[in-house]
Amino acid sequence: MKRAVLYARVSTPDQTTATQLHDLRRMAEQRDLQIVHEYTDIISGAKARRPALDEMMTAARRAEFDVALVWASDRLARSVRHFLEVLDELNRLGIEFVSFRENLDTGGPLGRAVVIIVSAVAELERNLIVERVKAGMRRAKLEGRHVGRRRRQVDREAIVRDRQRGLSLSQVAKNHIISRALVCKILRDARNGDGHEGVSPALLQVEENRPPV
């Protein structure tokens, strides 16, 4: 007997999922499916976060069920794109998707054909997003704009001075709100003469978390 989960959603607290769950329980009984969990969300369809749906997808990744029953596709996803992503992931996990209202069953011949089309569309969408990102980065470079995260501005001379005053690497990092690794790099640069002169030989101890001696 295959394990099934039910998913139902309503938009406002004054609505109820009872009708949806009733239809889905009857469908599970007709298909001889064992219901292992029922997921319900009370949240607007426009909201990106749906706690119960997120829980269901986590359970899917753990292979805790074989079939997902929903009352309607628009109850499951917030957009066509989101629906394609969910359906594609369920397919890759080997989980059947059944929609009561649309009479869509990915376990049947027609449903499998739909899955192939959905997977192709989802792959196309992913490729288009990648291409748009790459095109945007190329255009930004051509226009002389910075691409990616901007480098953090730090006072390198102050870091060297703090280290020479006897502060440990961790203390210097905390004072300047940077990582200990970055402190070590700055001190190495100073030791190698990268823009700093007259640096104390004690800076050779950058690998150790203790003040210079």
At 19, which CATH number? Answer: 3.40.50.1390
Please give the Cα distance from 13 to 108 (Å, whole number). 35
Would 138 be classed as within a structural domain? no
Would 184 be classed as within a structural domain? yes
Please give the Cα distance from 179 to 183 (Å, whole number). 7
In the predicted structure, residue 156 carries a pLDDT above the cut 50: yes
pLDDT in tens, 11-31: 888 889 999 999 999 999 999
Please give the Cα distance from 204 to 31 (Å, whole number). 73
pTM: 0.55
For residue 142, which phi and psi values (nearest 5 degrees)?
Answer: -65, -30
Would 38 be classed as within a structural domain? yes
Please give the Cα distance from 175 to 155 (Å, whole number). 11
Are residue 103 and residue 46 in the same domain, yes or no?
yes
Would 9 be classed as within a structural domain? yes
Are residue 23 and residue 120 in the same domain, yes or no?
yes
170 is catalytic: no
Are residue 161 and residue 121 in the same domain, yes or no?
no
Are residue 9 and residue 97 in the same domain, yes or no?
yes
Are residue 164 and residue 101 in the same domain, yes or no?
no
Are residue 113 and residue 42 in the same domain, yes or no?
yes
Provide the pLDDT for residue 109.
74
Provide the domain count of the chain: 2
In a 3-state reduction of DSSP, which class is residue 23? Answer: helix
The secondary element (H helix, E strand) that includes residue 104 is: strand 104-105
pLDDT in tens, 167-191: 888 988 888 888 888 889 888 888 8
Provide the pLDDT for residue 70.
94
Would 170 be classed as within a structural domain? yes
Among 118, 116, 137, residue whose Cα is nearest residue 126: 118
Are residue 171 and residue 84 in the same domain, yes or no?
no
Would 151 be classed as within a structural domain? no
Please give the Cα distance from 183 to 204 (Å, whole number). 13
Would 180 be classed as within a structural domain? yes
Look up residue 102 and give its two tokens: 């649309």
Choose, from 11, 73, 119, 168, the residue flagged as catalytic. Answer: 11
User: What percentage of the chain carries pLDDT values higher than 70?
Assistant: 82
Q: Which domain holds residue 173?
A: 156-205
Would 75 be classed as within a structural domain? yes
Provide the pLDDT for residue 209.
44
Are residue 23 and residue 96 in the same domain, yes or no?
yes
Please give the Cα distance from 174 to 162 (Å, whole number). 11
